Structure 1
């Protein structure tokens, strides 16, 4: 009996010791036209929640109305009372009065907390939807402080916006006082929006401070008629680069993982999320 008691104590101690050793999982997901109407579909809401629950931090693009995020957060946190999510939301972005969207960044409040939020001041109006940056502090990951930058490029102006992302990064890093940054989002960085030649000569690619983590041969689209790596991660800062878990940057095909039909999947989005891990 004494040996059994010691055994269970050892198991408990090992369990406690490993709680903080999980890698930080980060994602970006263009949920096409996120609205209350979309979330009112119970099946769609359930799928979206299952995707989000995989991650400690996830950016959501194409948020059409703030009340859709409030609805999502309420439903999400009903199922995650022990480790709920917080959210930061950008201002409304877009050149057209007929279409604007916000960036939302959700995060597990027991795992990370927000130190600073910054909307890039696009004084020259080079971005249709200017980058939105959040500096997170994590108790477990290395580096403890890093910047998460979200961007959704305008398809017709993708090469120019990616070029300008270099100076935007410099501005954000200077404001945050932190060079370690993960740029993420629907960058439209493939196919006819960004040719391979344009990609290879773009300053965001040729500047050696930046490392692209999602390859051009990856498909982040749901449609069977496309094969494009629109969604990307780009990492900057030596410490963050060194602590990206090798081979963790990938597309999460929730259609296959959840055994969904094409119709069920496309109702959620025409994009799959991308994910990456930071070493604990």
Structure 2
């Protein structure tokens, strides 16, 4: 009887893991002409990304815009039967050093479809690199109740990371205005959503955005160590982003040397958060997987990918 129970339990666990969709975010640290020309390195990056059904990428740095397509081709050589789509942002940055963001989506396994995307129109110049925003539709909604969600892909400027993170409330405000249908058709009205998304929050006026449309902020926040102090992190948690769940916490070190938690995932949306597989929110230790020395690992990136699994 115990053996039968164990087999049934194992099958249930396997079924849960098979159905789960894996989201990842990875700062590729100046993935440009030099790195993309290195076939071995590019193949390793593609193998890392192939573990994700949806991959959110930062720091593509090729002025000729060839590098992202080299990586895209390498990724689909690995995943021939279940290809990815690539959605590439425009090049962004205040200086001559510009970057691009990417959304990679393997629709056959992710069960989600990108239905809208744009770069935040940063007229007031709040950001070194304006966020790249994509809205996805869950093509086969399950028990979670999540039908649509939006990812805001960010690479915050290190010495301005705290202020740029505060200014993400402006990006959310802009998104609500651009997409009233996601807020007027739910229990939260458009006006209530705008009022709940407090810009310039205080201890007596905290944001309390609760909607049926999940918003995810993912990427390289530079949100730890010398860039955002523990004191400021505490303020962000308790006041400025009190209505978001911090899916990657300080116990998870996201730089390759594993000393700081630069990369983060913030999620606003209770249904989405509840559908995340417990303990799946962590890093991908690619140096261990591929038996790399620290020097070899840093050749790939000075960041580890971060990820979570979800059952829609």
TM-score by length of structure 2 reads 0.78
Matched, 1:45 2:42: yes
Distance 1:82 1:146 in 2: 27
Pair 1:107 & 2:105 matched: yes
The answer (yes or no) to whether the contact 1:118–1:172 under 8 Å persists in 2 is no
Q: Does 1:172 align with 2:167?
A: no
In 2, are the aligned partners of 1:221 and 1:272 still within 8 Å (CA)?
Answer: yes
Report the alpha carbon displacement of residue 239 of structure 1 after superposing the two structures with TM. Answer: 2.0
Q: Which moved more, 1:206-215 or 1:153-162?
A: 206-215
Query: In the aligned structure 2, how far is the partner of 1:20 from the partner of 1:174?
Result: 37
- Deviation for aligned residue 1:40: 2.1
Aligned position for 1:9: none
Q: How many residues align?
A: 261
Secondary structure of 1:183's aligned partner: strand
Matches of residues 149-188 of structure 1 in structure 2 within 5 Å?
A: 149-176=152-179, 177-178=181-182, 179-188=213-222
Instruction: Give 5+ residue unaligned stretches, structure 2.
Output: 1-10, 183-212
2:288 match: secondary structure: helix
Conserved 8 A contact 1:215-1:229: yes
Tell me, in whole angstroms, the C-alpha distance in 2 between the residues paired with 1:170 and 1:237. Answer: 16
Shift of 1:173: 3.8
Deviation, 1:210, is: 0.8
Q: Deviations over 1:51-83 (max 9, x none)?
A: 110011111111012210111111221222211
Q: Which has the higher strand share?
A: 1
Larger deviation: 258-267 or 270-279?
Answer: 258-267
- Which aligned pairs between 1:239-250 and structure 2 lie closer than 5 A? 239-250=271-282
Matched, 1:32 2:29: yes
Write the mapping of 1:1-280 to structure 2, written as runs, cut at 5 A. 22-65=19-62, 66-97=65-96, 99-110=97-108, 111=110, 112-140=112-140, 142=144, 143-176=146-179, 177-178=181-182, 179-202=213-236, 206-223=240-257, 227-280=259-312
- Cα drift, residue 118 of structure 1: 2.2
- TM (norm. structure 1) is 0.87
Secondary structure at the counterpart of residue 155 of structure 2? coil
Q: What residue number does 1:5 align with? A: none
Superposition RMSD in Å? 2.1
Moved more, 19-28 or 210-219: 19-28
Task: Provide the C-alpha distance between the structure 2 equivalents of 1:190 and 1:19, rounded to a whole number of angstroms.
Answer: 33
For residue 139 of structure 1, report the CA deviation from its aligned partner: 2.9
